[in-house]
Amino acid sequence: MQILVLTQNILTESHFQEKLQGLNHEVFCSKNMLDLLKKQSAECFGGHLYHMIILSETLSNREIISILPCLRKLNAIILRKIADEPNSKEKESLEGLDIDGWVTSNISKDSLREVLSEKEKLVEKEETNIVSFPHVQSPTLVGTYEQLLSFFSNTEKRVMNLLVESEARVVSREEFCKRLWEDKPTNSHLSQLSLTVRNIRLKLINHGLPEDILKTEWGRGYRLSHEFFDFYPLKMERIKG
């Protein structure tokens, strides 16, 4: 697996990088890419595929929030590296970042292997459900809502219908977990939800819709923009049915 570590100081990542490389992963640490991302330049990746992006503890939450819009355009798992095991309040803050999980900088190699393995399985599961379609250049060619849904996996369809039912109001991550899995939020469910939302967002953009059509409200959840309902003036009873 190819892993990118975004950091303010590449020297602080040497020990963690060795752990990742010891698990047979290709690892690249970069401060330059971080600076480019702050300028909202996703092109800095130059088409290079990273399966996972790890955000160093040298980044503040504010910095992470500023670069997440660019990172969400990439089909990669996003993890936050933190110094120590988080307390309950810190866990809430991490969940509010809309990332796929977290690891501590002093994590053992065995535990790190299992965390990465779990995240890889989520990606593989989502990739088996991906349906490709040609890029649509004009938003006037978005078609009907039913046609749009035909490009989505079953889980993606359920997430989209929940968002549509909310009529541009925020749907919390807790509500998604309750409706999708009939369970409270767990690291596994939240990771799967984040990846599903990311796939939906990429498909909406590729289908000709604006980049901000599916919004992440920090610390609250997700919602569709009012503009979505201009493209798809749906009757809610049709969706609920």
Q: Which residue has the higher pLDDT, 148 or 137?
A: 148
Q: What is the CATH number of the domain that holds 15?
A: 3.40.50.2300
Q: How far apart are CA 93 and CA 179, in angstroms?
A: 22
Q: Is 133 domain-assigned?
A: no
Of the residues 64, 97, 127, the one at which a domain ends: 127
Q: Are residues 17 and 110 in the same domain?
A: yes
Say which DSSP state 135 is in: P
Residue 237 pLDDT > 90 = no
pLDDT tens readout for residues 193-232: 888 888 898 888 888 888 889 988 877 889 999 999 888 8
Worst-scoring range by mean pLDDT, 50-59, 162-171, 189-198? 189-198
For 32, 83, 203, the CA distances from 179, given in Å and listed in that order, are: 41, 33, 22
Q: Is residue 134 part of a domain?
A: no
For residues 21 and 193, what is the distance between their CA atoms, to the nearest angstrom? 28
Domain boundary among 106, 127, 148: 127
Q: Is the pLDDT of residue 133 over 70?
A: no
List the domain range (segments joined by +) for residue 44.
2-127
Are 108 and 9 part of one and the same domain? yes
Among 103, 127, 151, give the residue marking a domain's end.
127
Q: Within this chain, do residues 14 and 36 fall inside the same structural domain, yes or no?
A: yes
234 is written with which tokens? 């749906």
With 70 as the cut, is the pLDDT of residue 160 above it? yes
Residue 240 has pLDDT above 80, yes or no: no
Q: What is the pTM of this model?
A: 0.72
The answer to whether residues 104 and 220 belong to one domain is no
Q: Is residue 112 part of a domain?
A: yes
pLDDT tens for 59-83 read 998 899 888 888 877 778 899 999 9
- Least Cα distance to 82 among 108, 103, 67 occurs for 103
Mean pLDDT of 149-168: 90
Residues 154 and 202 in one domain: yes
